[in-house]
Amino acid sequence: MDKEIKTIGVLTSGGDAPGMNAAIRAVVREALHNKVKVKGIKRGYRGLLNEEIFDMKSQDVAGIIQLGGTILGTARCSEFRTEEGQAKGAEICRKHGIDGIVVIGGDGSYRGAQALARHGINTIGVPGTIDLDIACTDYTIGFDTAINTAMDAIDKVKDTSSSHERCSIIEVMGRHAGYIALWCGISTGAEDILIPEKYDYDEQKIVDHIINNRRIGKKHHMIVNAEGIGHSTSMAKRIEAATGVETRATILGYMQRGGSPTCTDRYYASIMGAYAADILVQGKSNRVVAFKNGAFVDYDIEEALAMTKEISEYEYQIAWNLR
Ligand code: ADP
Ligand code: F6P
């Protein structure tokens, strides 16, 4: 028979993302609604190993839905990648009476959750990352806020770029994934969008494009460059030398990870957090919550981690057609 779930834990892990607090709040309140106790675990798996564990009541998550970051804190913990670390984590859960844990984070955090499940602690993952790079889900908590923050910043840079008739390279986050760059590039009407999944590293094409646009009278040339390609500052110098057009680089960086979550992020985070608490309380384990084809669903972690997702060829082509 499935073990009875009396107490669950919640932690946030990996890079933070706006909306994580809304998810924490939903986990806590949905569990309490189901008459299950909740313990907060600070600083991800590192906090678990350090036993940074405390009781959470409904009022502990009051007034946080609109806050960026994560009230639990987050961390990266190499010890948790080891068999010993994982066994110790499971033992600490048992010591504190934690029957199951909701892990809010990305793919790496899911692997930690999978390890805990192997050691007998029920786990459910919730997708929290601004990068949208979790294959099993069409939505990840924080993406919407990040793209809106980046879009606003790009619009502003575009104003001054046009006034000075400059080329601007704006570097957005996404070390391995180009979703933020693609969405922001299309949404700001960027002249070039460089993403790790597609970029052919042929800078001459960009140079030719800038020169051609100057001939037809374009005043600015906006290049949205994903972090995964990077080197925006040196790229700006090379482009300026090759085109004679003043070129500036702006690296948006961590501002994209902060700030008050959008309504979309708060909504998805609330539903996904509550969904995770519900299935954990029902005795499910080693699963991740996802939003797929218009519905909230859950997958086995193994299956979820084996999935792949690609940038849509059609959407990428549209980005070129509209510039
Ligand atoms: P994200 O969850 O955003 O992908 P990371 O990849 O940095 O971020 O993973 C967050 C944490 O999850 C790591 O610091 C580590 O503690 C844990 N983790 C990552 N990979 C594994 C793994 N293969 N086994 C166990 N724990 C892992
Ligand atoms: O949260 C995702 C992300 O922003 C990636 O785009 C980036 O590569 C990474 O986090 C950087 O995070 P950190 O510097 O905290 O390791």
Check pocket membership of 45 for ligand 1, CB cut-off 6 A: yes
Tell the residue nearest (CA) to atom 1 of ligand 2: 15
pLDDT at 177: 95
3-state secondary structure of 287: strand
Distance 72 CA to ligand 1 centre (A): 17
Check pocket membership of 131 for ligand 2, CB cut-off 6 A: yes
- Delimit the CATH 3.40.50.450 region(s) of the chain: 7-142+261-306
Tell the residue nearest (CA) to atom 12 of ligand 1: 109
Catalytic residues: 131
Check pocket membership of 227 for ligand 2, CB cut-off 6 A: yes
* Closest atom of ligand 2 to CA, residue 16: 1
- Token pair listed for 14: 């990996």
Selecting from 3.40.50.450, 2.60.40.10, 2.20.25.90, 3.40.50.300, what CATH number does the domain 7-142+261-306 have?
A: 3.40.50.450
pLDDT band at residue 4 under the 50/70/90 scheme: confident
Percent of the chain with pLDDT over 90: 96
**pLDDT tens digits for 39-81?**
999 999 999 999 999 999 999 999 999 999 999 999 999 999 9
pLDDT at 263: 98
The answer to whether 158 and 168 have CB atoms below 8 angstroms apart is yes
pLDDT at 1: 45
Please, is 84 exposed, middle or buried when counting C-beta atoms within 10 Å of its C-beta (0-12, 13-18, 19+)? exposed
The number of the ligand nearest the C-alpha atom of 174 reads 2
- Delimit the CATH 3.40.50.460 region(s) of the chain: 146-257
The number of the ligand nearest the C-alpha atom of 176 reads 2
Q: What is the mean pLDDT of residues 78-85?
A: 96
221-226 and 167-172 as β-strands: parallel, antiparallel, unpaired?
A: parallel
Check pocket membership of 106 for ligand 1, CB cut-off 6 A: yes
**pLDDT tens digits for 92-134?**
999 999 999 999 999 999 999 999 999 999 999 999 999 999 9
pLDDT band at residue 193 under the 50/70/90 scheme: very high
The answer to whether 143 and 149 have CB atoms below 8 angstroms apart is no
DSSP-based helix, strand, coil % in the chain, nearest 5:
45, 20, 35
Check pocket membership of 108 for ligand 1, CB cut-off 6 A: yes
Nearest C-alpha neighbor of 182 from the set 142, 225, 138, 228: 225
The secondary structure of 160-222 as a DSSP string is HHHHHT-EEEEEES-SS--HHHHHHHHHHT-SEEE-TTT----HHHHHHHHHHHHHTT---EE
Check pocket membership of 43 for ligand 1, CB cut-off 6 A: no
The answer to whether 127 and 141 have CB atoms below 8 angstroms apart is yes
* Closest atom of ligand 1 to CA, residue 106: 2
* Closest atom of ligand 2 to CA, residue 256: 4
**pLDDT tens digits for 285-311?**
999 999 999 999 999 999 999 999 999
Residue 3: is its pLDDT beyond 80? no
> What class, spelled out in words, does domain 146-257 have in CATH?
alpha beta
